[in-house]
Structure 1
């Protein structure tokens, strides 16, 4: 089984950014994603214990949003997320009108927010690996949201602190776009931080986020059909994700898989 650390482990998420410990970065440059052998959830290297064992405690969720006809007449949008290596850990949804105007940025923000919610739910599911690494009640939980949207990562990590210091205005004195979603997102992240659950953001190139990208595009296509009066029966979560052309296995084939024991 995985050795339990005898002291508080280093943090991977600092100020909402992913920062692996120096030992991990030296041995394995760049972000390294894993799938858990027990539950299939996505993880990333967190730290190396005194015994030399690599611990993968930070949970990872891939997120994306898409908008067809963005900025044009009759746009349709949706989001897609993946918390693990099976189709049952993929979630999609066409855009809900309660989120306001359909745009690419709002779809990406909504996808990241929903990724946080689903990721938290999956983190709580029973898993021997999870329970082993979280036996120490002093250890905090970490959830990393991975997206190919530079807009989402910068809004939640760089721009928002500046807006707060400027009475929620941009440097030009304007109200930031999509402030309603961003503020709600920020409130939730701060609330979780008080519960010792730290949420971070990572920007990756699109080919590293291929699964969520495909899910989001499929959700946007469903949204377009719904807007034309097609039945919603086939638009529920996981139904779209079960389509074989989404190739979950192809996406995860480049991931390293954690062994069942050390």
Structure 2
């Protein structure tokens, strides 16, 4: 096993839970940095949507090789979804939570798990780790700064779907 591909991700949402929310993502790894805004055409932006989008984008930007991919996120929800077995349980329940409802941001969850499963089928390990936000982790801070930068008007737009 070679060197791990460590990818720090973060999402941000201005006006979260209010009128005119605007989301953005930040991704930081040894391969470079990504700062993108979520397109207005996506459903109503939220912090959690941006966190999911950042993980999706970060994973798809990782090299396809035999070295493990480690996604580091400060979102406990996302870590539990992807690293804690929630996504697999929802899939077994036909895309429903234990309470019978459709999970929020399930399109991102399905697409991300499709990528995870593909990579694993090719022999590439993928792990998700939670890091405390704003607690001195330089990679997390860089991803946070990139997500904030993505909220700016001139930021490139995130293109959902496919591989990068």
What is the TM-score when the length of structure 2 is the normalising length? 0.84
Structure 1 equivalent of residue 143 of structure 2 = 212
Q: Does structure 2 retain, via aligned residues, the 8 Å contact 1:65–1:213?
A: yes
Structure 1 equivalent of residue 29 of structure 2 = 83
Residues 149-206 of structure 1: CA deviation (Å, up to 9, x unaligned): 1111111122112212222211111111111110111111111111112221110001
- Which is higher, the Rg of structure 1 or of structure 2? 1
Residues of 1 paired with 2:112 and 2:141: CA distance? 24
Structure 1 equivalent of residue 155 of structure 2 = 235
Q: What's the RMSD between the two structures over aligned residues?
A: 2.0
Structure 2 equivalent of residue 72 of structure 1 = 18
Residues 216-255 of structure 1: CA deviation (Å, up to 9, x unaligned): 01212x1xx3xxxxxxxx4249xxxxxxxxxxxxxxxxxx
Structure 2 equivalent of residue 17 of structure 1 = none
Query: Any residues of structure 2 matched to 1:106-255 within 5 Å, and which?
Result: 106-120=49-63, 140-157=66-83, 158-207=85-134, 208=137, 209-220=140-151, 222=152, 225=153, 234-236=154-156
Structure 2 equivalent of residue 241 of structure 1 = none
Shift of 1:98: 4.8
Residues of 2 paired with 1:96 and 1:185: CA distance? 18
- Which structure has the higher relative contact order (CA within 8 Å, separation 6+)? 2
Q: Does structure 1 retain, via aligned residues, the 8 Å contact 2:24–2:36?
A: yes
C-alpha spacing 1:145/1:99, structure 2 compared with 1 (3 Å)? farther
How many residue pairs match? The answer is 152
Going by fraction, where is helix more abundant, 1 or 2? 1
Structure 2 equivalent of residue 100 of structure 1 = 43
Residues of 2 paired with 1:99 and 1:187: CA distance? 20
Gaps of 5+ in 2: 158-164
Q: Does structure 2 retain, via aligned residues, the 8 Å contact 1:83–1:118?
A: no
Structure 1 equivalent of residue 162 of structure 2 = none
Which aligned segments of 4 or more residues in structure 1 are displaced greater than 4 angstroms? none
Gaps of 5+ in 1: 1-8, 10-55, 125-139, 226-233, 238-262
